[in-house]
Structures are given as C-alpha cells and as structure tokens.
Structure 1
Amino acid sequence: MKVLTVVIPCYNSAEYMDRAIESLLIGDEELEILIVNDGSMDNTSIIADEYEKKYPNTIRVIHKENGGHGDAINTGLKHSKGVYFKVLDSDDWFDKASLKKVLEVLKNMIKDSKSLDMLISNYVYENFSINKSRSINYKGAMPKEKIFTWDSLGHLKSSQNILMHSVIYRTELLRECNLDLPKHTFYVDNIFVYKPLPYVKTMYYLDVDLYRYFIGREDQSVNEKVMIKRIDQQIKVTKILIDCYNPMLLNCKKLRKYMVKYLVMMMTVSTVLLIKDNTEQSLNKKRELWSYLHSKNRKLYFEVNKSFLGLLIQIKGFVGRKIILLGYSLSRKVFGFN
C-alpha cells in the first residue's frame, strides 16, 4: 500500500527537476512519486524515464500531451495509489527530514484507523534573487500535532493562508469533491486549495518546514510582470472560485470566514494587478470583475466589501489606487512573495 502520492507536474523541467525528485528519495517504498511529463519538448521525458528505471518500486512516469499544470495534477490524481495526495512543482523541493516526519504521522493515522482529511505543514519562500528565505507557519492559528476541526481553528493571519505548498489531502476526498482543474490555465493551485474545503472535516498541523518554494525567476508565473501579462488567467480562476461554491451557505462559521477571506485575497490580487497596469482596458476589467461577483452572489459581494480591500475600493480615483498599491508593496516586503 502507498501511504502518500507526490505528483510532480513537469513541463520542460530538465534544468531543475532533479532537485525536486532527489528530495523525495528517502528510501521509503510506501511513498509513491508520480512524475507527469506534460508534453515537454526538452529532455524531461528522458530524465523521468531514467529515474523510473532506477527506482521502479517508488517512481512512476506518465507521459501525456500538453494540458497545463492543472491537467497534469488531474492526471496524477487519476493514477494515484496513495491514501494521501500532495503536489510538488518541479522547480521546488522538500526537506527530507520533514518528509520523514510527515510520512510517520500519516502512517500512524492509517494504522490507528483515524479519519484525517487534510494535513498542514509549513513552507519556506526561497527567494534566490534577493538571497532571502522566509518560513510560513501556522503557529497560534492551529493546534499542534493533534486532529482538530474547523471549530478549533484560531485566527489566521494574512500570511497564514492554506496554500498548495502547505496542504496534503486525503486522496479520496479530492475525488469526492470532483476536483477537476481547467486545462491550459495558470494559478489553478488556488482552486486546488479552495474547492475541497467544505469536504474537509478533520485536520492535523505538523510544525515542520516541508515545502521549499523557489521564487525569483523572471519567467516564473508569480513574477509580477508575468502576472500582469496573464491577468486574464488570474481573473478566470477568481471567477471559478466565485462559481464553484457559495460559502455564505456554510453552517460552520470559521470555515465560512476563511473561505470569504480567501476570496478577498483573490480579489485583491486581481484588483491590484489591474490597477498597476493602469490602462483603460485593465480598469474596465477591474470594474467587470467586481460586477461579476455582485451579479453572481450579492451576499458574498457585500461580505467581501466589508473587508479592508472593499473599503479601499470605495475610495475612488487616484487616491484609492495609490493606497491600494502602497499596501500591496508593503505586503510584498513583509511576506517575501513575487
């Protein structure tokens, strides 16, 4: 039996995929490594096949036509044999000691027949462009090393959103919620960590720095200039989140609050990038996005508008735009993203 499946979506990843794969090789055959070659045109397929031959009991390779990051995750989920499921991007890596601890916890959950839907661990921003690392943890917001529910969740700071880097799901839960990420779309990790949440009943926080998140490459999808260029993709994903579930119908107050908070973050990112682009077309897209939220879910629109962002949006013209951009700039320095 495989305890944990780690899917590595690879597209033209030959230059750096070794580090990601090697970080998973801890000599544990209850760990399944799925390398999904998403139609690469470099030596990705050759490297992947070599690893499969060398570690046949741990590594499987799936070759497919190019469908984008989300489609590669869909493929990994379809073929996963692990009780639990995690994604590792091909330019990132795991801390081996932390991975061993995670596997030990998951094995014990299975051994003791405990129901666990989601395990959360820390992740580390590794920003090589400014030679800076920053660990994001959930101390103070989540009980440590015990199963808990949404009712036991404390206050999550702005830096403590549950992201793809920090989450491990029970595999069957992802299938139960019909997770199906769109093809040829960037930023689908937001769907991955949002749509399953109403299905999550039990959680466990392990205070280890498992995921090392590499940022600072100029062509990276989270690079600000790249994000502005791909703003239509960001808007598309934000609209998918608006459409996929109505958090205002949730009985659990803390889950509802968190899902609204996540949507506030998504609306903030799109709004700020459109303002930074500062073209007539971009400002029209900003207005259209807020109108879309209003037309789809008026209660959610007014809830988002209660947030600090919502209040800023109501400050019209140049002053409002400057305040929003200043807040965004400060957030970048504090949290080390982009």
Structure 2
Amino acid sequence: MPNFEQTSPAAAYDIEAARAAFPIKTISVTPAGEGHKVISFGIPSYNAAKDMDHCISSILEGSKYAPDVEIIIVDDGSQDETGSKADEWEARYPGIVRVVHQENGGHGMAVRAGLREAHGTYYKVVDSDDWLDASALSTMLTILRGFEERDLRVDLFISNYVYEKVHEGTHTTISYRMALPRKKVFTWDDIGRFRFDQNLLMHSLCYRTDVLRAHELPMPPHTFYVDNIYAYVPLPNCKTLYYADIDLYRYFIGREGQSVNEATMVKRLDQQYRITRIMMESYHLYEDVPQEKLRSYMMGYFTMMMAICSVFTKLSDKPGIDDELTALWGDLRAYDEKMYRKARHGVIGWGTNLPGKMGEKTTIGMYHLASKIFKFN
C-alpha cells in the first residue's frame, strides 16, 4: 500500500467530521447502453508518480482500452508530480480515465472519493503501487459483462491475489480454491472453511457499487489499515457471490516504509488499534449476522485483527503499551462477551497472548515463522 500522508495520526475517529469533509454523494450507476461502465477502478494515489504508470497501464492494456471500463485516479493531496501525471492520463484517454484532486485525507478518504465518483456497476480498488494481471483482467471483464447481459445480480466478485516481492524475485499466491465454490453464483451458506492466511482482503474483492453506497463505510481519515474495514464491514450486505480462480491482483511487497512492513506496523500500532475498534463496534456478530458460515468467517477475521494487535504490542517498546492492549481486550469483553471468549480463548488468541517473558518470545517467534512461510510482509 502506498505511504499516504499522516497529518494527524493520533486523532480520534470522528465519523461525522469525515462525512462532512469527504461526503459520499449518491450517483446513479450509468444504465446499460451508450456510455455504460461495467466497472470502475479506483486508484488512491499519494506521491505515486514513480509507480502509478505501471498500475494504470496494466488496467488499460488488460482491458484493451474498453469503453465500458472506468479508471478514477484520486490524487490525495500529493506533493510530487502525481496530480499532473494523472491529468496527462485523463487527457490521453478521455471517457476512460478520470481524475479527482482532493486535499490529503489518507487512504480511506481516497477510496471513498473514488466510490463517490464511480459510474460502474462494480467498484474495485487498486493501490497505485500495485497492478493487475492482463489475462486475469480479461477473464474478469468477460464474467462481469456476462452477469449484466443475463441481468444476473452478483453483489461480490472474488478473485485471487499475489504477493509480489519484486526485489527478491519471489511471489506467493493466495487463492480460495478449497474455501469457495467455483464457476457458479453462490451465497454465504455455500462457503467452506478459510485458513487463517486466507482472509478476503481488499485485493481479492470487487463489490457492486450500490452495495458499498447503501451503508456507511466507517473509514477514518489519516489512518492506515482501513482496507480491513473495507474487506469486513460490507460483507453481510452481500447476498450473492461469485469466485473466479484467477490471479488478478498483484500486491507489491517490500518497499521501505510500506504500511505492512514490520517496523512500520510497530510505529503505527495506535492506528491498528483504531481500525480494530471500529471493526469490533461494527457488529455484535452473534446477534447481527444470521448466516452461520459468514459469522464464523468474520469472527476468524476479527480474531486475527486482535492477534495482530497482541503480537505488535509485544514488538513495541512504547511506554504503557501493555496497558493499552489490556484496555482493548477489556473493551471487547464489555462490548460483546461471546466475541471476547471466541477471540481470546481460541487457539490464536491463546497463542498470541502467552504470559511472561518466555511466552512473549514464543509468540514473537511464531509470528516470524508464519511471516516466512506465508510471505505476508
């Protein structure tokens, strides 16, 4: 994920202020026919001049410059040539590329801006330092166009993504072959079990635009890790799904200062806490989510977020950070006792909160081993 500017990293999340500063206005999706857009790709961009050309080109070339594809570049108050380069792309490909210039608000506000302006039936976020595989994109577009031709409503399109460690020359594919049905429209009742490394992340998701607009996306400004909210909060509103076993999204890993870099995550632990609290307070899962398999998946995802907070608290030397973690777990228990028990007393919760110095070393060691195996940072 690109390194979005952090003008007020410690600020509490104020949803009303975010709505006022970065509103999501209602725009009707363009009806089928002349000018119709089957998909809008939102590209949040902050100081992205070095990387954005590859990202944009991958979508244009992979879609064969199709007129039913829309690319919305959101220049999030960049201080380099991002804005002018975005304008050049729009001038070269009018009707396909559009540009939004806004004051810096962070990744979440850039995602919201793209959604606000989208005319496509579907909306997918592609970060400016990532890219899409051409063959997989062609397949995706064929499938989405088929949905529209048959007037078939699909709320969520899922595909694989690939961790690309360019500097090491390695890559790791995250697929959902054992967890999701293939080549059919399905519901949450049809899903299988997800491994802990198999969460549905922003990179794997393409929502119907109207699903995202129908409910508030509580994306705080000037905060990293909002992609977890994007990949979690809308799920109960998705009634029909489709999984394409294609390696579409190429997720660049390894840039110094990247948000998933271990040292960066320790430094921004307060933001990880903030995102986890927002996810916690989005649902009483065992009351609000009736689909048992979806509830189980979301509980697993949320448990992983609590585990990340626990692990990185152990990696941090910030004074008082242990008390902050204790408060987070206490707040979860007060909010929802059942969610607390599932998160804290399951295998992952137990393994990431081992007591004492030896327990701390064991937890950190297990985390580093998992990182080497699954290549997630």
Shorter-chain TM-score bucket reads over 0.9
The TM-score with structure 1 as length reference comes to: 0.97
Partner residue of 1:69?
A: 107
Secondary structure at 1:140 match in 2: coil
* Larger CA deviation: 151-160 vs 204-213: 151-160
Matched, 1:214 2:252: yes
> How far 1:115 sits from its partner (Å)?
1.5
Which residue, 211, 216, 223 being the options, matches 1:185?
A: 223
Partner residue of 1:93?
A: 131
Partner residue of 1:58?
A: 96
Q: Go from structure 1 to structure 2 and tell me whether the alpha carbon gap of 1:313 and 1:135 turns closer, same or farther (over 3 Å shift).
A: closer
* Larger CA deviation: 284-293 vs 160-169: 284-293
CA distance in 2, matches of 1:283, 1:127: 33
Partner residue of 1:82?
A: 120
1:205-264 deviation line (CA, Å, top 9, x unaligned)? 101110000010111111110110000000000000001112111221101101100011
Partner residue of 2:17?
A: none
Partner residue of 2:146?
A: 108
CA distance in 1, matches of 2:155, 2:364: 37
**Unpaired runs of 5+ in structure 1?**
none
Partner residue of 2:242?
A: 204
CA distance in 2, matches of 1:94, 1:317: 45
Partner residue of 1:251?
A: 290
Which residue, 323, 329, 335 being the options, matches 1:290?
A: 329
Partner residue of 1:9?
A: 44
Partner residue of 1:332?
A: 371
Q: Read off the aligned partner of 1:295 and give its amino acid letter.
A: A
The TM-score with structure 2 as length reference comes to: 0.88
> How far 1:279 sits from its partner (Å)?
4.6
The answer on whether the counterparts of 1:49 and 1:61 sit within 8 Å (CA) in structure 2 is yes
Matched, 1:265 2:300: no
CA distance in 1, matches of 2:246, 2:237: 25
Q: Read off the aligned partner of 2:257 and give its amino acid letter.
A: D
CA distance in 2, matches of 1:251, 1:244: 15
Partner residue of 2:175?
A: 137
> How far 1:313 sits from its partner (Å)?
5.2
> How far 1:295 sits from its partner (Å)?
1.6
Partner residue of 2:155?
A: 117
CA distance in 1, matches of 2:347, 2:97: 46
Aligned-residue CA RMSD (Å): 1.2
> How far 1:149 sits from its partner (Å)?
0.8
> How far 1:322 sits from its partner (Å)?
2.0
Q: Go from structure 1 to structure 2 and tell me whether the alpha carbon gap of 1:279 and 1:13 turns closer, same or farther (over 3 Å shift).
A: closer
Matched, 1:172 2:207: no
Q: Aligned residues, how many?
A: 338
1:92-137 deviation line (CA, Å, top 9, x unaligned)? 0000111111011011111111120101101000012432101110
* Larger CA deviation: 319-328 vs 62-71: 319-328
The answer on whether the counterparts of 1:5 and 1:84 sit within 8 Å (CA) in structure 2 is yes
Matched, 1:229 2:264: no
> How far 1:180 sits from its partner (Å)?
3.9
> How far 1:153 sits from its partner (Å)?
0.4
Which residue, 24, 29, 36 being the options, matches 2:59?
A: 24
Q: Read off the aligned partner of 1:107 and give its amino acid letter.
A: R
The answer on whether the counterparts of 2:58 and 2:134 sit within 8 Å (CA) in structure 1 is yes
CA distance in 1, matches of 2:104, 2:353: 42
